[in-house]
Amino acid sequence: MKSERGYLKVILTDRGTRRQESRHPWVYDNEISGTDEGIVDGDLADVMSGGGKYIGTGFYNSNSKIRVRIISRNANDQFNQAFWERRVGYALDYRQTVMKSDDDLKCSRIIFGEADEFPGLTVDRFNDILVAQVLSLGIEVRKEMIFDAIMNVFRSRGEELLGIYERNDVAIRGLEGLKEYKGYYVKKGQAAPAKTVTSIVENGVRYKVDVENGQKTGFFLDQKYNREAVSRIARGKNVLDCFTHTGSFALNAAKGGAKHVHAVDVSQTAVDMAKENAVLNGLDGIMSFEAADVFDLLPEIKKGEYDMIILDPPAFTKSRKTKSNAERGYKEINYRAMKALPRGGYLATCSCSHFMDEESFIKMLDSAAKDAGVRLKQIEKRQQSPDHPILLNVSETDYLKFFIMQVF
């Protein structure tokens, strides 16, 4: 039977009801005691306690372990175009407040999924192009309305963007019963823009961004202010940037006044792009580049060869099952870096995996330091930049751990 609001209902177990006291936006399949007949995957459903109390409304999908993704707890909300435009407006107002400059706003994450109450949607802005990744069926079936809302809000603020490029070429979409693809979002009868490479300025550093072929949405925005922090420490030092990707930490170190920066990545394509970015910024004279496996490279470094080492590896774990293997990987590279640095050297190190929590990461660093026979002096402990906001009741939004240490 439909609720008074006109939506079919999902009834929670007692356990599910108790967990919703924290207002977490996900309802798992094992927290549901029953559903009304006729609910279609992708539909909106009202989530109710066993006692009939309204908890919220969200996207239903029987294909997913996350059975309902709650989008609102206001029983008066109407989920029309105006609703989504308000949500987009809130997200943009927040970024305008927390980002440091107009340049930062033009290369920022404007929608960060659940943290902005768009469950399963990521949207990054790279100057004149928006890049979207849709990971929930509920967003997918309302994509036209939501994408129109995004463009309308920018237009109302005097900004006419080129378009929205979809990077839906990720296997995780399969968990929602969705296919993989990439390309510009266009309405019937429209032509897709030809442009897929644009440019951005972050912390005064210029980059080319390939939204079609770059990692994830084209560029990693979450380390924006961590790179800025590294640039201050790097002044006058010989720096090794491991897992450089397209050179972002290395370029910030060089721009900050490093004596020399050596940037390393296993991908020759990434290294080539990093070289291009160095030339673009006039920093190639104090930078060198190498395509190599960091796990092989670090043991070969002579002690004192570098005054500062930066470790920004990819996520070594994307599930709890592989966490122990990931800890070994993190410990190995951090141990090798600590052994290679001279007394008084500097280490910037991080993990971008939600499953490698801060407590485990600190334990790993402590263990690596003991094995390396050194001590660590913490200079800064940081997280992702504020355009990737953290919800205190949703641990999944808190994923990036970043430390700057002195080794002595």
State the catalytic residues: 352
- HEC profile of the chain: CCCCCCCCEEEECHHHHHHHHHCCCEEEHHHEEEECCCCCCCCEEEEECCCCCEEEEEEECCCCCEEEEEEECCCCCCCCHHHHHHHHHHHHHHHHHHCCCHHHHCEEEEEEHHHHCCCCEEEEEECCEEEEEECCHHHHHCHHHHHHHHHHHHHHCCCCCCEEEEEECCHHHHHHCCCCEEEECCCCCCCCCCCCEEEEEECCEEEEEECCCCCCCCCCCCCHHHHHHHHHHCCCCEEEEECCCCCHHHHHHHHCCCCEEEEEECCHHHHHHHHHHHHHCCCHHHEEEEECCHHHHHHHCCCCCCCEEEECCCCCCCCHHHHHHHHHHHHHHHHHHHHHCCCCEEEEEEECCCCCCHHHHHHHHHHHHHHHCCCEEEEEEECCCCCCCCCCCCHHHCCCEEEEEEEC
Q: What's the burial of 193, exposed, middle or buried (CB within 10 Å: 0-12/13-18/19+)?
A: middle
Residue at 373: amino acid letter: G
